[in-house]
Amino acid sequence: MLGLGVGFYKLAGNDYPFGEWNPLLLEDKLANWYQFNTGISTTTVGESTNQITRWSDQKGDNSLTPTATDNTAVMPKLESDGTVFFNGSGDTLEFNSDLSFGKFSIYIKMNFKSDSAVSNDDLFEHASSGDFLKLANPTQARIKIGTRHDFTIGEIIEGTPFVIGFERAADGSLAVYKDNVAGTAADGDSLNVAISTTIDLDRIGKPVNNSYWSEIVICNDIITASERDNLYAYLSNVK
């Protein structure tokens, strides 16, 4: 039928032709997009099925792959509901090419297993530089770019999906948003790092035990308040 699926979707005061808002509307700011239950390849290792061998980038060509494709100790699993499950301390997915940003906005829709605890979980990190984006505990996030910066955020409740975002503006200002609410500086931290110092990241998920990842959106720039609202609304509706 002509026009099936084509129309206008209203979100945050804007109309979008050709359907719903999605991260491609971030245009040149969007660097990498790992979409829910899309572009994920799996294999069987022994008796373990649906072990992930690749999560393909839907914007660029920087796919995520495990360090081995024949070892379940380092391979996350694709769950039946479409989420990517990191269930061991060795589970990781590495970028084909390292990320290196001055400005950035990195958002994840995820969930922790209901019987696990949020504790010192590296979401993104670089094995040699030591840079990371982390959840230290259910109410504290951390960004390390040379030095560590702590944020107090809304409580993460295991078993409840949430959206977490890490940002850095052109003036070096850092921010973390949990469910679209900005965190606050902990212990008087200035939450600022000279923009000339890049954040370098080469992998996700090590260690981040017992967590389910639905989608990742990575931008090489700060996003506007309107874009943040749209992105949060979009990710909230992802599994």
Per-residue pLDDT of the chain (239 residues; tens, 9 = 90+): 333 333 334 444 455 544 689 999 999 999 999 999 999 999 999 999 999 999 999 999 999 999 999 999 999 999 999 999 999 889 999 999 999 999 999 999 999 999 888 998 999 999 999 999 999 999 999 999 989 999 999 999 999 999 999 999 999 999 999 999 999 987 777 888 999 999 999 999 988 889 999 999 999 999 999 999 999 999 999 98
Nearest Cα residue to 33 out of 230, 228, 219, 239: 219
Q: Whole-angstrom Cα distance, residue 101 to residue 200?
A: 7
Omega within 30 of 0 (cis) for the link into 66: no
User: Could you tell me if residue 78 is inside a domain?
Assistant: yes
Q: What is the pLDDT of residue 6?
A: 32
d(CA 40, CA 51): 10
Q: What is the CATH number of the domain that holds 182?
A: 2.60.120.200
Whether 13 is in a domain gets the answer no
Quick check: is 137 in a domain? yes
Residue 188 covered by a domain: yes
Query: Looking at residue 8, what is its pLDDT?
Result: 34
Task: Answer whether residue 107 is part of any domain.
Answer: yes
| Whole-number pLDDT of residue 206 | 84
Contact status, residue 122 vs residue 207, Cβ threshold 8 Å: yes
Q: Residue 23: inside a domain, yes or no?
A: no
In this prediction the pTM is 0.91
Tell me, yes or no, whether 24 lies in a domain. no
User: Could you tell me if residue 96 is inside a domain?
Assistant: yes
pLDDT at 195: 94
Give whole-number Cα distances, 97 to 32, 36, 61, 126, in Å: 11, 21, 9, 12
Its domain, for residue 73, covers: 29-236
Q: What's the helix, strand, coil split of the chain in %, to 5?
A: 10, 45, 45
Tally of domains in the chain:
1
